[in-house]
Structure 1
Amino acid sequence: MTAARLGTYVLLGVVGVLVAAAGALVQAAWFPGGLLLALLAIGALCYGGVKATDTRAGGVVPAGAWVISVLFLTVSRPEGDFLFGAGAGSYAFLLGGMFAGVMCATMPKVSQPGSGPARLGK
């Protein structure tokens, strides 16, 4: 683990928190376009993290930060204020974001180190 890679993971985590906060506001404000935009943002961040770091952890870190942030935002305060309403859009944002994060962190094929372009077995 190099300092640059660790810094990249920290940056991905911070951006994951920011995407969660922005998505929480946008998904209800511009329904259904805002919901699609918020889900596309977390999917793009996780996929971009995988491609930028060339490891699956590059997708897990922003997805984990996103999930923790969104779950923190769902807690209601003693004054009765809360950020998410009880509607289908909020649940689609929560479950869809988790699904997008898991899908992007597990599906892409990560390149193998040390493999050459030559065909084996000849």
Structure 2
Amino acid sequence: MNNNESTALGIIAGSLVGAAVGILFAPYKGSKTRQIIADEAVLAKEKLETELASAKDIIAKTTIDLKDRVVSSTETKQQTLEEQVNALAHDASHKADDVINTLEKKLTELKLKNKKLQKTS
């Protein structure tokens, strides 16, 4: 017999001996043991359902909190962006006024030069 066969035989023999000892020394009859196992399974199921419901509540609250923070952050960034756009528009308006004033001055100067040229001709 090789090592693998010996190991397999040892596992089988140990399992049989363990099962026999378990049956001989069991504190309750089989039907009572099965009932205890069934009751424990029901309790475990109920506990798992309770914990799952609690986890769902935590996830829902966390999701709502995260959504609120994202909305708040987005609103703040939108206000900041609007302020920046308004500031740029304001600056551009002043720059446009400056350009118009400069062009009007140049136009006045050109008109004067044109009048002088027309008088001399």
What's the TM-score once normalised by structure 1's chain length?
0.23
The higher radius of gyration belongs to 2
Which of the two has greater helix per residue?
2
Tell which has more relative contact order, 1 or 2 (C-alpha 8 A, sep 6+).
1
